[in-house]
């Protein structure tokens, strides 16, 4: 027997581990969406039993202060009483009709009234953010009669074939598919340029004359949180206008999150089309795309661009969405701003106390922390940050009862349910975690 035997490793989540083992036998990787698998930070995912407000509970009985918020929708916290009661009221009337309902128009009105000033005159409801961006791109191609699209490196717009394309170096590089199964011929129609680089975008416009649209996350939230530099979005808008290409703002994450008028309202920019999801559905599968009536009227049954959905405008999802949007007043955004600002300030001060170089990019209630000396402005810079340290930090925080996004390339989301008790718990946990990583 050695003098100092290694302590035996015992998992603190044996029930989750068992459920994960079983899930893997029937579901690829044990998860129904890859990032849930903890591949970005190592270890096994935690299986959830339920959630309320800012707190989630796992199947082993542990509770965590949650900064994932179902990847964005839970702006008002989990199980928001008005949202859950709207769903309960709707369910007794039937779960799907495949025919129009008044609530779809009411939800359209709630969305359009907040974005009409920025060119959103008509919308179409769909079931996921992926469906919204795929459909918006088809519409842009149908409207302009052009084929090429431009996206930015590190921006995620769902898993549509044209959007799963890795960046080459520099602007206008021949693109390669970022996923097996995406035909090279299709990937070749997507040009990828670095975020926050208007010159690279201009070079792409010089290189190609068949650009149907540029799609962008106005605040990038899928490479951690990367904010647009001053003048960048304006330059993107101008280049699209000058080249008669459509500008698509993908607001699936930023819509209703950073401002009651979304990022387009925050920055005062009118896109030609925009996509929404996450918060819009109040936690149920619902998304939308919309824009100028002249463009939207190209959609069937009026026009020749086809897009449809058996469950589109689903009564439960629209009930949840309406109950969510009805609650989004100025007080919500003031609270989110104050909460997130406090957390940002205190986390930075703890990082300093423990001699870590930490950067935080934040807009309203969405933010990303980076272990780095300077603030990343694009995906190349994000990838150069200390992601190993983030992984250690993630696990230390989990141990202390704080659930962060399980990847350095994801955004943290604050809700109005995060109160001072949750924040103090988080900061105490961060103090310990930063001392250990």
Alpha-carbon torsion angle 367, 368, 369, 372, nearest 10: -130
Q: What is the number of helices (H) and of strands (E) in the chain?
A: 14, 16
- As measured in angstroms, the least distance from the Cβ of 412 to ligand PLP is 14
Q: Does 312 bind ligand PLP (CB under 6 A)?
A: no
Closer by beta carbon to ligand PLP, 221 or else 282: 221
- As measured in angstroms, the least distance from the Cβ of 256 to ligand PLP is 13
Closer by beta carbon to ligand PLP, 71 or else 143: 71
Cβ neighbors of 333 (< 8 A, separation 6 or more) are: 259, 260, 364
Q: Which two tokens stand for residue 293?
A: 């009536």
Cα distance between residue 357 and residue 339, in whole Å: 22
**Contact 339/324 with Cβ under 8 angstroms?**
no
Q: Does 126 bind ligand PLP (CB under 6 A)?
A: no
Considering only 191, 222, 262, 407, the residue that binds ligand PLP (CB under 6 A) is 222
Closer by beta carbon to ligand PLP, 70 or else 375: 70
Q: Does 129 bind ligand PLP (CB under 6 A)?
A: yes
250 labelled catalytic: yes
Closer by beta carbon to ligand PLP, 155 or else 347: 155
Q: Does 196 bind ligand PLP (CB under 6 A)?
A: no
Q: Which two tokens stand for residue 45?
A: 């995912």
Tell me the three state secondary structure of residue 404.
coil
- As measured in angstroms, the least distance from the Cβ of 348 to ligand PLP is 25
**Contact 214/247 with Cβ under 8 angstroms?**
yes
Q: Does 240 bind ligand PLP (CB under 6 A)?
A: no
- As measured in angstroms, the least distance from the Cβ of 131 to ligand PLP is 7
Cα distance between residue 75 and residue 326, in whole Å: 13
Closer by beta carbon to ligand PLP, 157 or else 389: 157
Q: Count CB neighbours of 294 within 10 A.
A: 11
Among positions 138-157, residues that touch ligand PLP (CB under 6 A) are: 156-157
Q: Count CB neighbours of 115 within 10 A.
A: 26
Q: Does 277 bind ligand PLP (CB under 6 A)?
A: yes
Closer by beta carbon to ligand PLP, 133 or else 385: 133
Among positions 245-264, residues that touch ligand PLP (CB under 6 A) are: 250, 252-253
Q: Does 66 bind ligand PLP (CB under 6 A)?
A: no
Considering only 130, 135, 162, 426, the residue that binds ligand PLP (CB under 6 A) is 130
Cα–Cα distances in Å, from 340 out to 324, 347, 365, 415? 20, 10, 6, 9
Q: Does 365 bind ligand PLP (CB under 6 A)?
A: no
156 labelled catalytic: yes
Considering only 80, 128, 339, 416, the residue that binds ligand PLP (CB under 6 A) is 128
Name the residue number minimizing CB distance to ligand PLP. 129
Which element (helix H / strand E) includes 350? Answer: helix 330-353
**Contact 58/64 with Cβ under 8 angstroms?**
yes
Alpha-carbon torsion angle 277, 129, 412, 40, nearest 10: 160
Q: What are phi and psi of 419, to 5 degrees?
A: -110, -175
With tokens 């961060």, the residue in question is 430
Among positions 18-47, residues that touch ligand PLP (CB under 6 A) are: none
Find the catalytic residue in 64, 67, 156, 403. 156
Size of interface with ligand PLP, in residues (CB under 6 A): 16
Q: Does 283 bind ligand PLP (CB under 6 A)?
A: no
Q: Does 162 bind ligand PLP (CB under 6 A)?
A: no
Find the catalytic residue in 278, 289, 386, 403. 278
Where b means 16+ CB within 10 Å and e means fewer, 235-268 reads: bbbebbeebebbbbbbbbbbbbbbbbbbbbbbbe
Find the catalytic residue in 66, 197, 250, 386. 250
Q: Count CB neighbours of 354 within 10 A.
A: 15
Cα–Cα distances in Å, from 357 out to 57, 127, 175, 399, 410? 32, 41, 34, 22, 19
Cα distance between residue 66 and residue 45, in whole Å: 14
Closer by beta carbon to ligand PLP, 129 or else 425: 129
Q: Does 407 bind ligand PLP (CB under 6 A)?
A: no
Considering only 142, 158, 224, 291, the residue that binds ligand PLP (CB under 6 A) is 158
Closer by beta carbon to ligand PLP, 221 or else 406: 221
- As measured in angstroms, the least distance from the Cβ of 215 to ligand PLP is 9
Residues that bind ligand PLP (CB under 6 A): 71, 128-130, 133, 156-158, 217, 221-222, 250, 252-253, 277, 287
Active-site residues: which are they? 156, 250, 278
């Amino acid at each position: 027997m050695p003098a100092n035997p290694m302590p035996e490793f015992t998992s603190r989540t044996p029930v989750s581990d068992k459920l994960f083992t079983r899930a893997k036998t029937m579901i690829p990787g044990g998860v129904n969406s890859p990032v849930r698998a903890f591949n970005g930070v190592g270890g096994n995912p935690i299986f959830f039993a339920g959630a309320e407000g800012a707190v989630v509970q796992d199947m082993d009985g542990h509770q965590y202060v949650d900064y994932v918020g179902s990847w964005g929708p839970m702006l008002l916290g989990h199980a928001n009483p008005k949202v859950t009661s709207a769903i309960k009221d709707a369910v007794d009337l039937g779960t799907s009709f495949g025919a129009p309902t008044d609530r779809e128009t009411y939800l359209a009105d709630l969305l359009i009234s907040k974005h009409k000033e920025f060119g959103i005159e008509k919308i179409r409801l769909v079931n996921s953010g992926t469906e919204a961006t795929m459909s918006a791109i088809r519409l842009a191609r149908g409207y302009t009669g052009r084929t090429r699209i431009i996206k930015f490196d590190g921006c995620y717009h769902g898993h549509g074939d044209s959007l799963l394309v890795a960046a080459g170096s520099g602007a206008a590089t021949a693109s390669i598919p970022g996923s097996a199964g995406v035909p090279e011929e299709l990937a070749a129609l997507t040009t990828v340029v670095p975020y926050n680089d208007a010159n690279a975008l201009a070079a792409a416009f010089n290189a190609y004359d068949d650009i149907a649209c540029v799609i962008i996350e106005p605040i990038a939230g899928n490479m951690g949180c990367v904010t647009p530099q001053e003048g960048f979005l304006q330059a993107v808008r101008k280049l699209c206008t000058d080249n008669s290409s459509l500008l698509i703002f993908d607001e699936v994450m930023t819509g209703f999150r950073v401002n009651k008028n979304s990022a387009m309202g925050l920055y005062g920019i009118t896109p030609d089309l925009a996509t929404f999801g996450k918060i819009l559905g109040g936690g149920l599968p619902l998304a939308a795309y919309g824009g100028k009536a002249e463009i939207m009227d190209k959609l069937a049954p009026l026009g020749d661009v086809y897009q449809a959905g058996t469950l589109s405008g689903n009564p439960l999802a629209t009930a949840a969405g309406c109950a969510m949007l009805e609650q989004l007043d100025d007080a919500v955004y003031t609270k989110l701003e104050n909460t997130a600002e406090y957390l940002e300030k205190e986390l930075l001060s703890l990082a300093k106390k423990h001699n870590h170089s930490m950067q935080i990019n934040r807009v309203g209630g969405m933010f990303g922390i980076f272990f780095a000396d300077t603030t990343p402005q694009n995906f190349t810079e994000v990838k150069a940050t200390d992601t190993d340290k983030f992984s250690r930090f993630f696990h230390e925080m989990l141990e202390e009862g704080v659930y962060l996004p399980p990847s350095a390339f994801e955004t943290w989301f604050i809700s109005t349910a995060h109160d001072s008790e949750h924040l103090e718990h988080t900061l105490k946990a961060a103090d310990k975690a930063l001392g250990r990583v």
